[in-house]
Amino acid sequence: MTTVFEFKRTVIRKSKTARLLEILDKFRQYEERVQVAINEGKIFKFIAAWDVPRIKLELFKRGYIETVANPFYNLRSVLPLYNLIDAAEPYNDYEQALLCKILGDHQPNFIWTEQPWVYQWYEGATIINKLDFGNEINFWLKDGSCHYIRLINSKIKKYKHRIKYPRSYDVIEHKETENFQKDYRFTAATSLVLFLYDKKDIEEWFSKENGTVYYSSLEFALQAIESRIRRIKRPDDTKNPNYETKKYHHQWKKVFRAHHKVVMEKQKIVCGPERANEFIARITKVTEHLLRYYPNRRHDGYHNIWLLKPTYSGEGRGIIITQNEKEILHHINHDNQNYIIQKYIESPLLIYNTKFDLRQYFMFTVDKEYLRCWWHPVMSVKFASEEFCLEVFNETIHLTNAAIQFKYNKKSNPNLPIEHLWTLGPLVTYIERFLKKGYKWQDSVVPAMKKAISQIFFACMHDIDLKPGRFELFGNDWLITDDFETYLLEVNRPPSLVPYQSPVSEIVCGTISQDIIRVVVDFYENPRANTGQFEIMHEYKISDLKNGRVREVPCWT
């Protein structure tokens, strides 16, 4: 007769056996899953990159398995196999550690990285989220974009078809520093003249009794602008003086002082009525010619404000905002880093009197047949955290980088979110409802964005290594002016897809991530697959590109 003790021991033994069988069965299922992934080429790896949860999730959903770059950093990877199997659940860390152990050192087929050097190290991978542009293309770097966009625009005859990009100078080169100084002087002159031109009561800014600014400075500013315009009309005229050289240093110092007194301190120019009328007529004529040849000068504003951007820093770090030429030159000559100098756009479109910019995405892909350029319409709207003001140069007012503004737990208006982010919908609604210009979005802003992306694509397409399975996502930052012109501020390579603690960033980054995998995995295997909201802007056959049959591409000239 079986004792109670023996019965309990038998039950316990049987329970352990059943549990062990269950664990073994679970292990076999994971082994089969790994083998299927290996056979189908569905092993992926993140190398030198921030974690992008939605990219991983989309790959997991398609049967991919992750091999971890440094599994020893994951404490779960050192757990006994039994414990890992027991704790493994779909997509949790224990399952990931278990799959990694089973997978071993199998090479990945899909690589996600933020570093270009990975491209050469994993040539055998089927898919890599990097393109090789060679050594001459660097439109995503701050200093590179200065030269590259300038080069693109130099080949486009019509001004209206050029990429709108703030005037920028890579001052690591001495010649560029000189060019900036000339621009700074000329901008002081144009700012003073435009300030007066835009005044409805311009006559009131001239007074023989109450004026404090000598009219000789305005006279010199007008002469400098007239001389520049004559050089455009008659470049071979050797008798036309160039007032922007160091020879006229003392006159320019007087212009700087006059500009400051009139624009910032609202002082008047010493001038009688008769001479004032002559100046007003001349200001009108000069401004009309100025805006004909330099239409983007109307976005400069009146304050001659410039940005110093560290060349190799991102997310708004280290940016200096100033209107003082001496301060700018001091930084570039004494700071232990390189800068670009960029003209600040002083007339942005404002939402609830707050500055914003837009983050928008585009992608280049290479498959077995085509090189393609893709556009994505989903964007994030990034706000400053204080109302716009040109008299104060705080980053809370002027820098709209999400990483900067997330430091500030305040908002400029009750109608704006504390996270300083919108999706695109509320912006378009605001433009339609409050500004009554909803048509501007589709008729002006979006076409300008697409045109700029197209110009960049056409300029670099012949330099891309056309190896199938290579792709790259870029993030553009755009600024819309108060008259709905669209400026490209910079191109980010790579743009961050890590969602900040914000519902908006989760929506935007999640949508972009999901659609990337739809394009580079689903569409790569099946041309009829759903690509989400990515749309093809341009495509060229690889064979035509390699054989030189695509020499001329559509371009706005």
**Mean pLDDT (whole number) for 403-432:** 94
In a domain, 86, yes or no: yes
In this structure, the answer to whether residues 384 and 496 fall within a common structural domain is: yes
Task: Determine the pLDDT at residue 93.
Answer: 83
In this structure, the answer to whether residues 491 and 442 fall within a common structural domain is: yes
Q: What is the mean pLDDT of the chain?
A: 90
Give CA–CA dist 198/272, Å, rounded: 20
Work out the pLDDT band at 535, boundaries 50, 70, 90: very high
Contact residues for 117 (Cβ-Cβ < 8 A; gap 6+): none
Task: Determine the pLDDT at residue 183.
Answer: 96
Work out the pLDDT band at 35, boundaries 50, 70, 90: very high
**Mean pLDDT (whole number) for 149-171:** 90
Task: Determine the pLDDT at residue 553.
Answer: 57
In this structure, the answer to whether residues 400 and 515 fall within a common structural domain is: yes
Task: Determine the pLDDT at residue 175.
Answer: 85
In a domain, 186, yes or no: yes
Task: Determine the pLDDT at residue 71.
Answer: 53
Tally of domains within the chain: 3
* Whole-number percent of the chain with pLDDT over 70: 94
Q: At which of 299, 324, 356 does a domain end? A: 299
Work out the pLDDT band at 140, boundaries 50, 70, 90: confident
The per-residue pLDDT for range 190-223, each reduced to its tens digit, is: 999 999 999 999 999 999 999 999 999 999 999 9
Global pTM reads: 0.91
Q: At which of 103, 127, 151 does a domain end? A: 127
Give CA–CA dist 527/365, Å, rounded: 13
The per-residue pLDDT for range 354-403, each reduced to its tens digit, is: 999 999 999 999 999 999 999 999 999 999 999 999 999 999 999 999 88
In a domain, 322, yes or no: no
**Mean pLDDT (whole number) for 423-430:** 97
Contact residues for 351 (Cβ-Cβ < 8 A; gap 6+): 381, 383, 416, 427, 430
In a domain, 315, yes or no: no
Say how many Å lie between the first and final Cα of the chain, rounded.
101
In this structure, the answer to whether residues 370 and 477 fall within a common structural domain is: yes
In this structure, the answer to whether residues 422 and 535 fall within a common structural domain is: yes
Task: Determine the pLDDT at residue 515.
Answer: 98
In this structure, the answer to whether residues 180 and 279 fall within a common structural domain is: yes
- Residue 373: phi, psi to the nearest 5? -115, 125
Sort 229 into a burial class: Cβ within 10 Å, 0-12 / 13-18 / 19+.
middle
Strand, coil or helix: what is 360? Answer: strand
In this structure, the answer to whether residues 289 and 154 fall within a common structural domain is: no
Least confident of 139-153, 172-186, 448-462, 466-480: 139-153
Cα angle, residue 217 at apex, residues 256 and 204 outer, rounded to 5°: 100
In this structure, the answer to whether residues 355 and 473 fall within a common structural domain is: yes
> Is pLDDT at 8 greater than 60 in this prediction?
no
Sort 90 into a burial class: Cβ within 10 Å, 0-12 / 13-18 / 19+.
exposed
Least confident of 130-139, 206-215, 269-278: 130-139
Task: Determine the pLDDT at residue 481.
Answer: 98
**Mean pLDDT (whole number) for 298-326:** 92
In a domain, 320, yes or no: no
In this structure, the answer to whether residues 504 and 389 fall within a common structural domain is: yes
Work out the pLDDT band at 10, boundaries 50, 70, 90: very low
**Mean pLDDT (whole number) for 341-345:** 97
In a domain, 318, yes or no: no
**Mean pLDDT (whole number) for 334-341:** 90
Give CA–CA dist 164/153, Å, rounded: 9
The per-residue pLDDT for range 62-120, each reduced to its tens digit, is: 999 999 855 545 555 677 777 888 888 988 888 888 888 888 888 999 999 998 888 88
In this structure, the answer to whether residues 28 and 146 fall within a common structural domain is: no
Task: Determine the pLDDT at residue 552.
Answer: 57
Task: Determine the pLDDT at residue 74.
Answer: 59
Least confident of 167-176, 187-196, 518-527: 167-176
Q: Do strands 370-383 and 421-423 pair parallel, antiparallel, or not at all (unpaired)? A: antiparallel
In a domain, 185, yes or no: yes
In this structure, the answer to whether residues 355 and 504 fall within a common structural domain is: yes
**Domain encompassing residue 190:** 174-299
In this structure, the answer to whether residues 493 and 376 fall within a common structural domain is: yes
Contact between residue 542 and residue 466 where contact means Cβ atoms under 8 Å apart: yes
**Mean pLDDT (whole number) for 284-311:** 95
CATH number where 424 lies: 3.30.470.20
In a domain, 432, yes or no: yes
